[in-house]
């Protein structure tokens, strides 16, 4: 049975992650709407380059997780300019004491520069419609929930397990392979081989 403090902490972790999911959805909605409505005559032409760039970002993220390359940090640094504007607001929610604070913090901290999020948002916006983009980003966000919730509850234990089992190589390799597969050129190449 969870104590009152543990229950409150668990609720805050869930609320924070709900805010994070909503920030990803908002980011995707803004980008997809801009591309589909603001640049509608270029949208179809942008789909392959967006998917390619998203795939390259995934490959770079996988290589970073494996400890092979730090190039993804340069891409993430592009987001730091926007993050500088949000950072004072994000810090104002700390320390998190209530679910409302946690939700608001997640909404803001979800904009923290992250190559995996950037690549997923780009990939989602390249799917051809806002509804598909939103479905894809919610799928991504829901897929990250178990890991993020467990990380929030068991951060120290997961860190030790991560290092002991060399999970960074497994996950990094899988992310890089998926990134390659999602690049239209490589996908077509692989389809021709199989």
pLDDT tens track for 115-155? 778 888 888 888 878 899 999 898 888 887 777 766 666 65
Average pLDDT over residues 20-32: 92
Could you identify the residue written with the tokens 């490589």?
A: 186
pLDDT at res. 8: 57
Could you identify the residue written with the tokens 């270029």?
A: 42
Mean pLDDT of all residues in the chain? 79
Q: Give, rounded to a whole angstrom, the gap between the first and last alpha carbons of the chain.
A: 52
Token pair in block for residue 174: 């899988």
> Is 183's pLDDT higher than 80?
yes
Rounded CA separation 37/189 (Å): 32
pLDDT at res. 190: 63
> Is 167's pLDDT higher than 80?
no
Q: Which residues contact 180 (CB under 8 A, 6 or more apart)?
A: 55, 59, 186
pLDDT at res. 48: 81
Q: Are 38 and 126 in contact (CB under 8 A)?
A: no
């Amino acid at each position: 049975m969870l104590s009152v403090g543990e229950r409150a902490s668990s609720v805050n972790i869930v609320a924070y992650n709900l805010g994070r999911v909503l920030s990803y959805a908002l980011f995707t909605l803004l980008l997809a709407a801009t591309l589909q409505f603001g640049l509608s005559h270029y949208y179809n032409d942008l789909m392959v380059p967006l998917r390619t760039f998203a795939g390259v970002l995934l490959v770079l993220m996988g290589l970073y997780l494996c400890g092979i390359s730090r190039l993804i940090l340069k891409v993430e640094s592009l987001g730091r300019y926007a993050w500088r504007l949000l950072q004072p607001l994000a810090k104002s929610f700390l320390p998190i004491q209530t679910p409302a604070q946690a939700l608001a913090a997640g909404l803001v901290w979800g904009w923290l520069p992250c190559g995996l999020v950037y690549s997923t948002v780009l990939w989602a916006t390249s799917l051809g419609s806002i509804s598909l983009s939103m479905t894809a980003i919610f799928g991504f966000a829901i897929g990250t929930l178990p890991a993020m919730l467990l990380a929030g509850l068991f951060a120290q234990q997961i860190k030790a397990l991560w290092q002991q089992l060399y999970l960074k190589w497994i996950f990094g390799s899988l992310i890089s392979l998926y990134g390659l597969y999602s690049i239209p050129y490589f996908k077509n190449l692989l389809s021709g081989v199989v």
